[in-house]
Amino acid sequence: MSGGDYLQALRITLANGDVTRIDFANSAAMSELPPADRTLFGAP
């Protein structure tokens, strides 16, 4: 994982050598998730 205040990149290396890298951009702070997003995470 790399980044500062927000996660910028996530790199996952599997035992067989396969690598997955996910880069994040335009992160912003939120006070609370919108209802539709809360539903996706199974939150009430």
Residues 20-34: pLDDT tens digits?
A: 999 999 888 889 999
Please tell me the total number of residues recorded for the chain in this structure.
Answer: 44
Quick one: pLDDT at residue 11?
97
Quick one: pLDDT at residue 13?
97
Quick one: pLDDT at residue 37?
92
Specify the amino acid at residue 33: L
- Token pair in block for residue 8: 């910028």
Spatial contact of 6 and 24, defined as CB atoms under 8 Å apart:
yes
pLDDT > 90 in the chain, percent: 70
- Token pair in block for residue 9: 């990149």
Query: Is residue 25 exposed (0-12), middle (13-18) or buried (19+ Cβ within 10 Å)?
Result: exposed
Distance of CA 7 to the CA centre of its chain: 7
Quick one: pLDDT at residue 9?
96
